[in-house]
Amino acid sequence: MHSLTPILSTITAAFLTSFVEVVEAFTIVLAVGVTRSWRPALTGAALALALLAALVLAFGPLLGLVPITILQFVVGVLLILFGMRWLRKAILRAVGVIALHDEEAAFSRETAALHQQATDRRADYLAGVVAFKAVLLEGVEVVFIVIAVGAAHGQTLYASLGALAAFILVMLIGLAVHQPLARVPENALKFVVGLMLTSFGIFWTGEGIGADWPGADLALLAIFAVVSLASFAIVRWLRSTYTLTGGLAR
């Protein structure tokens, strides 16, 4: 069980993170394909995926040259920063301070922008650039997190499989329904991803500085539970404050 805990948590974290990012990238690529044509949409997406693959091949092996304790500490701190960023936005969305992410609204915005470019002679080129940027920007975060959650314990393969499964699932669903995946509980997923990344970060930062976690890898579950309880307590407190004051300082 001790060996399965980090593997399952690595796959789950990579899958959920990738799923959220791929949904956002897919929405923009779909808007390009439907509004303009599928050729620039798929070309831009393919070029971005090729560049991301090159980044993984270039930087992935270099991590093997870094001492494991230093790698765990650096990756742990970075994951805490990433996780807290995701958690902050998820908490503020849950409280109502910032709006929930809406894939249909994002699709409409991208479609309107592409329609405005329709008369430009470079319309296909600009549409391809939009698809390229969407896949690249979302993909860079996926690549970092996949390498981060996998490298600290030598589980990059499992993290990659989780990310690949998310990519295939989003593509299959998206191509089947041929519309934005608005029914995906994306904001709830972002909350969970924030909790997982923060928990991973705390666990690996501790290992990097030589902490002896009680229960070894099972301590990750306890850290996740503590971070979750603290986050939900903050949401409850902010909601009560928001109700009493009629709003929060933004």
**Cα distances (angstroms) measured from residue 29 to each of 110, 200, 250:** 9, 31, 32
Q: Please report how many Cα atoms fall inside a 13 Å half-sphere around the Cα of residue 37, on the Cβ side.
A: 8
Tell me the whole-structure pTM to 2 decimals. 0.67
Helices and strands, counts by H and E, the chain: 8, 0
- The better pLDDT of the pair 144, 231 is held by 231
Q: Please report how many Cα atoms fall inside a 13 Å half-sphere around the Cα of residue 20, on the Cβ side.
A: 22
pLDDT of 233: 92
pLDDT of 157: 79
Q: At what angle do helices 186-208 and 123-151 cross, to 10 degrees?
A: 40
- The yes-or-no verdict on residue 11 having pLDDT over 90 is no
pLDDT of 249: 45
- The yes-or-no verdict on residue 246 having pLDDT over 60 is no
> Cα 24 from chain centroid?
10
- Cβ atoms within 10 Å of 4's Cβ, excluding its own: 9
pLDDT by residue (tens digit) across 28-51? Answer: 888 787 777 778 888 988 898 888
pLDDT by residue (tens digit) across 113-160? Answer: 666 665 555 677 777 888 888 888 888 888 877 777 776 666 777 888
Chain mean pLDDT for the chain: 78
Share of the chain above pLDDT 90, in %: 6
**Secondary structure E strands in 152-202:** none
pLDDT of 178: 61
* C-alpha dihedral, 207 to 216 to 191 to 246, nearest 10°: -80
As to burial, measured by CB atoms within 10 angstroms (0-12 exposed, 13-18 middle, 19+ buried), residue 61 is exposed
Share of the chain above pLDDT 70, in %: 78
Query: 112-120, long-range: CB within 8 Å, 24+ apart, which pairs?
Result: 114/31, 114/32, 114/35, 114/36, 115/35, 118/36
Q: CA-CA distance, 61 to 64, in Å (whole number)?
A: 6
- The yes-or-no verdict on residue 60 having pLDDT over 80 is no
- The yes-or-no verdict on residue 84 having pLDDT over 50 is yes
- The yes-or-no verdict on residue 107 having pLDDT over 90 is no
